[in-house]
Amino acid sequence: MIAATPDGIKSALPQEHEALAQGTVLLEDQFTVLRQISSGGFGITYLAQDNYLERKVVIKECFPQVFCRRDGKRVVPRSQSYLTKHRTVVDMFIREARSIAKMRHPNIVGVHRIFEDNDTAYMALDLIEGHDLLDVINSKHDKLTPDQVKDILVKVLDAIELVHQRDLLHRDISPDNILLDKWGNPVLIDFGAAREEASRETRMLSTMLIVKDGYSPQEFYFSGGIQSPASDLYALAATFYHVISGEAPTNSQTRMADFAGKNPDPCPPLAGRFDGYEPEFLAAIDKAMHVLPQKRIQSARAWLDIIAPKTPSKIERVKPVSKKLERTLAQLVNETNDYVRNSQPIPVVPAAADAVAEQAGSAPPEVQTPLLRKVWRSFVVWLRRRLFGSRV
């Protein structure tokens, strides 16, 4: 959730009176809070020590401060009338964490523990060593080349495609929520799904919709605004507009007002203004940043098809397998499992093995002893994973 820099761990917007104290232990004795990193309307983020694995992690605590307060370590409603609302937000936080944890992607922050403690919920995430895109924008020395910018955008789009395929929205894309690790690989952090869902639950929270001027599309600024994948793409485009131009985009509300008044867009397009970038690359960012949702690029894949049409998606890495091979492999597995289950020696290779060997490009061994039987079983498991990937 935060970047480790050579000077230490970045902090932002401290609220020490609400945060857990240094040295607080969570989940019995697994995690120890080292200090607060940042806070927002719906959560507090900490640097912590995983005492079991002996490494530093980031802990995000569900803390909807509008109707909750700290009572010792516990997070409690400010009044009895907020009890149900608090529980609803905690449940949504847990569902969000589980959804993120299922998204195995090199450019999405890893979630490796979700737990409840102190009458609220927490998730433990990877600590990314590096810096964020906002650091890059503000730095006089760490400027990115056009090729680097394109590479980062392509990777983030691939990650966002997976998010959207899971029927989720990020809702908080901005330069400070895209980290670059020490190898320059981008990592998308700090999803805001629970915040949006929580805002629908209570009128009080609807007045606290989390927006970031310059990056949030206009539909984020009012309760009931229709949000879609194009909303995330607007925020991503605005982020890279800032990276390329060095200037934060104009607030989308201001842009909408000028559009409605038939005035010129106060946010000048990138296309034609920056050498070193392909014209279609800049034009795609401009289109994704259109103030009207229906005029934007509608999907991450459509955007990738414009700027990197030959780039395969990381979420489509499983190669299709023929139906014939699927049936043959299933027969092989069933026959082999029958022998293993009955603890019988296998005098000959199961009947389907020859066909699989022919199609898979390797000949199976004869299986006649308990040791070789174990080897054969391991081979079957390996072959299934090799052919079917994550589907097995």
Helices (H), 219-320: 229-245, 252-260, 279-288, 300-307
Instruction: Report the CATH fold assignment for 129-316.
Output: Transferase(Phosphotransferase); domain 1 (1.10.510)
* Residue 358 pLDDT greater than 90, yes or no: no
In this prediction, residue 42 carries a pLDDT of 80
Confidence of residue 40 (pLDDT cuts 50, 70, 90): confident
* Residue 336 pLDDT greater than 80, yes or no: no
- Location of structure tokens 């990020």: 170
CA 44 to each of CA 33, 64, 363: distance values in angstroms, whole numbers, following the listed order:
12, 9, 56
* Residue 359 pLDDT greater than 50, yes or no: no
- List beta partners, residue 9: 4
Do 3-128 and 129-316 fold alike per CATH?
no
* Residue 73 pLDDT greater than 90, yes or no: yes
Q: Which of 125, 95, 93 is nearest to 108 (CA)?
A: 125
Of 203 and 73, the structure prediction assigns the larger pLDDT to 73
Q: Which of 281, 185, 169 is nearest to 235 (CA)?
A: 169
Mean pLDDT to the nearest integer, 168-180: 91
- What gap in Å lies between CA 230 and CA 250, rounded to an integer? 18
Mean pLDDT to the nearest integer, 20-45: 91
What residue ranges do the domains of the chain occupy?
Answer: 3-128, 129-316, 323-391
The model's pTM: 0.72
pLDDT (tens digit, 9 = 90+) per residue, 276-311?
Answer: 999 999 999 999 999 999 999 999 999 999 999 876
Question: Angle CA(150)–CA(152)–CA(155) in degrees, nearest 5?
Answer: 105
Spatial neighbors of 384 by CB under 8 A, at least 6 apart, are: 329, 333, 392
Confidence of residue 96 (pLDDT cuts 50, 70, 90): confident
- Location of structure tokens 């803390």: 63
Over its C-alpha atoms, the chain yields an Rg (Å, rounded) of 25
pLDDT (tens digit, 9 = 90+) per residue, 150-160?
Answer: 999 999 999 99
- What gap in Å lies between CA 165 and CA 45, rounded to an integer? 27
pLDDT (tens digit, 9 = 90+) per residue, 246-287?
Answer: 999 999 999 999 999 999 999 999 999 999 999 999 999 999
In this prediction, residue 377 carries a pLDDT of 64
Specify the DSSP element, H or E, that contains 128.
strand 128-132
Q: Which of 303, 302, 289, 281 is nearest to 146 (CA)?
A: 281
Which pair of tokens denotes residue 63?
């803390």
* Residue 135 pLDDT greater than 80, yes or no: yes
In this prediction, residue 222 carries a pLDDT of 80
Q: 3-state DSSP helix/strand/coil percent for the chain, to nearest 5?
A: 45, 15, 40
* Residue 368 pLDDT greater than 50, yes or no: no
Confidence of residue 99 (pLDDT cuts 50, 70, 90): confident
Of 332 and 12, the structure prediction assigns the larger pLDDT to 332
Confidence of residue 360 (pLDDT cuts 50, 70, 90): very low
Confidence of residue 108 (pLDDT cuts 50, 70, 90): very high
* CATH class of segment(s) 3-128: alpha beta
Q: Do strands 186-188 and 43-50 pair parallel, antiparallel, or not at all (unpaired)?
A: unpaired
- List beta partners, residue 123: 60, 114
Between 1-10, 214-223, 266-275, 314-323, the lowest mean confidence (pLDDT) is in 1-10
* Residue 131 main-chain phi, psi, to 5 deg: -150, 165
* Residue 193 pLDDT greater than 80, yes or no: no
In this prediction, residue 202 carries a pLDDT of 45
